[in-house]
Chains A and B, each alone.
Chain A
Amino acid sequence: QQQVKQSPQSLIVQKGGISIINCAYENTAFDYFPWYQQFPGKGPALLIAIRPDVSEKKEGRFTISFNKSAKQFSLHIMDSQPGDSATYFCAASEDLQYNTDKLIFGTGTRLQVFP
């Protein structure tokens, strides 16, 4: 019940195309859903996040779509660029003691954008 399932494992997209990564969860106690971007040799960096009270959030070329009833959420990268090539992790969090969050990560998607 603690798992977050992520697909696909890898994704190849042409420059200018749309990249779509999907995640699903079981635990209805999760209340925060961030996406992290990780470049090789670097730590993950927060890209965009959503709470379950909204169905969509957009920041520039990045959009999260959230379906609470289906317990699914997805990341859409519009006009994908070679600089977007990285590993993307979805995550879900539940509240811990002291009002901090425990992140449960998906297994990651390696995105490659070719010119």
Chain B
Amino acid sequence: DAMVIQNPRYQVTQFGKPVTLSCSQTLNHNVMYWYQQKSSQAPKLLFHYYDKDFNNEADTPDNFQSRRPNTSFCFLDIRSPGLGDAAMYLCATSRGGLGLAATDTQYFGPGTRLTVL
């Protein structure tokens, strides 16, 4: 089945220890997004890629970086995790490029729950 896959599902790291979260997709979508969702809050967009073009949200901390080595994979790197970075990290994809009047549905993965000790 075509889908959005996130690994690992649960990640525990220590304060200040770099961590990388992985997302892969079999939908062949142009756009990949990373969201942060804290407990009982709405998902918040961190950044997105259209193909290889990276688009950062203005309020995303520098501590968060991303890489997209190919169409299928996208990584979220947290350089120095703080206690406030504990959250669910959601990857999503969309086809993109459909035109202004078209609906570009986003498909979400199951998320990676990050715990910072």
Q: How far is the CA of A32 from the CA of B98 in the complex (A)?
A: 14
Q: Could you give, for residues 101-117 of chain B, a 1 whenever the CB lies within 8 Å of some chain A CB and a 0 otherwise? A: 01111111111000000
A100's contact among B4, B96, B107, by CB below 8 Å, is which? B96
* Closest A residue by C-beta to B96: A100
Query: Given A98-B97, A108-B40, does the pair A44, B103 have CB atoms closer than 8 Å?
Result: no
Question: A98-B97, A99-B102, A100-B31 known; A44 and B108 CB under 8 Å?
Answer: yes
Stretch touching chain B among A65-73, A76-84, A89-97 = A89-97
In B24-39, the 8 Å CB interface with A consists of 30-31
20 A-B residue pairs with CB within 8 Å: A32-B103, A41-B110, A42-B111, A43-B90, A43-B110, A43-B111, A46-B105, A49-B103, A95-B100, A96-B55, A98-B50, A99-B97, A100-B31, A100-B97, A101-B103, A102-B45, A103-B106, A107-B41, A108-B40, A108-B42
Q: Which residues of B contact A42 (CB under 8 A)?
A: 110-111
Inter-chain contact A97/B103, CB cutoff 8 Å: no
Please tell me if B94 contacts chain A, counting CB pairs below 8 Å: yes
Contact B41 A108 (CB under 8 A): yes
- How many residues on chain A are close to B (CB under 8 Å)? 26
| A44-B109 Cα distance, complex, nearest whole Å | 8
Is the Cβ of B43 less than 8 Å from the Cβ of A105?
yes
Q: Which listed residue, A34, A107, A110, touches B42 by the CB 8 Å rule?
A: A107
